[in-house]
Amino acid sequence: MSGVKIIGTGSYVPEFIADNNKFSEFLDTSDEWITPRTGIKQRHILTDKPNFYMGVQAAQRAIEDAGVNPKDLDLVLVSTCSPDFFYPSMACLIQKKTGAVNAAAIDVNSACTGFITAMDIAQKYLETDHYKKILIVATEKLSSQLDYTDRSMCILFGDAAGAAVVEKSDKPFHSMLGAAGDEFEALYCKIHYNSNCPFYDKEADHYNGIFDTFSKQNFLQSDGHAVYKFAVNAMDKAVRKVAEQRGIDLQDIDLVIPHQANLRIIKKATELLGISQEKVYTNIQNMGNVSSACIPVCLDELSKQGRLKEGMTVCFVGFGAGLTYGACIFDI
Ligand code: COA
């Protein structure tokens, strides 16, 4: 099985910062509550533009970093669970704005597991040899889905985008994806349909009015405890699985980039795995949870800091709505 080589990275983080104290101005909350329970000190919010704007910026930076001509990209693969439109896909918008005129364009939605899902898909496309260069973008504007009167959820998330240009490599790459659809109610955000269909029978709709006009039901809904429990187990399972596929000990992993949902989840899961905290990268303190953009934003930060060294064995691991989870392990 061939591998995936990351030849360029990029990210976009909105300028506007909402620190924990800003939330105390309109909610019954405090930095003293948020920081010890989540690790989050601040998050960035896109206040004046659509989500795809961030995706385009991150993509352009990754293309420039890779030194490739956008016309040579064969596929634009976009992960998002906060798209601007039902259609077209975000991938089509980013394809147009980046000048990737010869690329196919596909959106992926496995929520916060999305970047790992896209890596897994990219590996399979690259293996066909018909696709040589793939642009992967994860772009998320969670602020558009949050109820800012719900203090337990709105403090957790932020907005950002991350991107990578990848091509085929001879080095090993292993990945696994999993889903527990029966737990979907632990974390979801219902689509806001605005229908005037005269045949719709609201009484018979057992999902309780999916055609409802604007209501609190259209915001992100979550059972934080259920997600927490799922996340720790799923991360443990996923990392063990890819390490086993690769045939290495967990101690042989040089760097873990986990999904950044809660610092306590990351610490608990990596402690269970016996991976030392120096090998685990986090930026949740400054970014909050930016869903599928967490991992590529971390990746870009590490790349810009010169911390991605040739030969390193890196593991991405994540979980999210679905509930989904996954991991991949590869060499830089
Ligand atoms: N500020 C102050 N108090 C808050 C608060 C806030 N921002 N959010 C919740 N509380 C209150 C609750 O109302 C509750 O009060 P009560 O006991 O009077 O009812 C109390 O704090 C404890 O709430 P609880 O939900 O038990 O807190 P917790 O320690 O479990 O932490 C989460 C809650 C959401 C931080 C934690 O469960 C979590 O991170 N889960 C994962 C969620 C997630 O990341 N989802 C997306 C994954 S991709």
Reply yes or no on whether the pLDDT at 209 is more than 60: no
Q: What is the chain's mean pLDDT, rounded?
A: 95
User: Cα–chain-centroid distance for residue 165?
Assistant: 16
pTM, to two decimals: 0.96
pLDDT class for 213, splitting at 50, 70, 90? Answer: low
What was the pLDDT predicted at 196? 78
Rounded Cα distance between 159 and 147, Å, is 15
Name the closest-CA residue to atom 38, ligand 1: 224
pLDDT class for 160, splitting at 50, 70, 90? Answer: very high
What was the pLDDT predicted at 171? 95
What was the pLDDT predicted at 216? 65
What was the pLDDT predicted at 199? 83
Residue 145: HSE in the Cβ half-sphere, 13 Å Cα cutoff:
26
**Whether residue 142 has a cis bond before it, omega within 30° of 0:** no
Contacts 24+ apart (CB under 8 A), 19-25: 20/155, 23/151, 23/154, 23/155
For residue 70, the one-letter residue type is P
What was the pLDDT predicted at 206? 62
- Residue from 23, 37, 265, 282 whose mutation best tests the ligand 1 pocket (most atoms within 8 A of CB): 37
How confident is the model over 172-182, as a mean pLDDT?
Answer: 97
How confident is the model over 166-191, as a mean pLDDT?
Answer: 95
Q: What percent of the chain has pLDDT over 70?
A: 95
Beta strands in the chain (DSSP E): 3-12, 17-19, 42-44, 75-79, 104-108, 133-141, 159-169, 173-179, 187-188, 221-222, 255-258, 313-320, 324-331
Other CB atoms within a 10 A radius of the CB of residue 52 amount to 27
How confident is the model over 131-152, as a mean pLDDT?
Answer: 97
Catalytic residue among 92, 112, 189, 328: 112
233: which 2 tokens? 């187990």
What was the pLDDT predicted at 218? 83
- The answer to whether residue 289 is catalytic is yes
Structural domains of the chain in order of their starting residue, each with its CATH number: 3-170 (3.40.47.10), 174-183+220-331 (3.40.47.10)
Q: What is the distance in A from the centroid of ligand 1 to the CA of 207?
A: 26
Other CB atoms within a 10 A radius of the CB of residue 152 amount to 12
Q: Is the CB of 33 under 6 A from ligand 1?
A: yes
pLDDT class for 215, splitting at 50, 70, 90? Answer: low
Q: What is the largest CA-CA distance in the chain?
A: 62
